[in-house]
Amino acid sequence: MNEINLKIKAYLNGTEIDLGDVKFDISQTIEPVDDLKLYTTSEIANLLGVGEDYINLLRNNHALVATQLGKRFMYSRKEIKNFQENFEGCELANREMIMDAVKNLHKKKSSTPGK
């Protein structure tokens, strides 16, 4: 059900003219709602199975990117996926390990052509 059907009519000198039906495939024109959803710190902590303090530690050390809306930090699905891809296999047990992993990621990105 990714289609919209429209009946097109025009009026010329007070006379209605039926111009026919038009179908639009909207599956390619509207982003899925899931990609637009932002998650709270609490929701991300639950998704990753960690505490909120740990999510704040990741954010404060630039391992996890958030958008601040008022006093709340919100996380996009894209940023969660980036975090998972960027730090897969890394040990992030404490602040120093997180900082080292972020530093290594930046080195890797700056030495990769086209990045």
Q: Is a pLDDT exceeding 60 seen at residue 19?
A: yes
Per-residue model confidence (pLDDT) at position 6: 72
**4 vs 46: CA distance, rounded Å:** 38
Domain residue ranges of the chain, discontinuous segments joined by +: 33-100
Q: Is a pLDDT exceeding 90 seen at residue 8?
A: no
Confidence of residue 114 (pLDDT cuts 50, 70, 90): low
pLDDT in tens, 41-59: 999 999 999 999 999 999 9
To the question of domain 33-100 being in CATH 1.10.1660, the answer is: yes
Q: Give the tokens for residue 51.
A: 């505490």
What average pLDDT is seen over the chain? 86
Alpha-carbon separation of residue 7 from 20, 23, 27, 30 (angstroms): 6, 9, 20, 21
**What backbone torsions phi and psi does residue 67 show, to the nearest 5 degrees?**
-110, 130
Q: Taking the complete model, does pTM exceed 0.85, yes or no? A: no
Per-residue model confidence (pLDDT) at position 23: 73
Confidence of residue 13 (pLDDT cuts 50, 70, 90): confident
Confidence of residue 34 (pLDDT cuts 50, 70, 90): low
pLDDT in tens, 73-104: 999 999 999 999 999 999 999 999 999 999 99
Q: Give the tokens for residue 104.
A: 């290594």
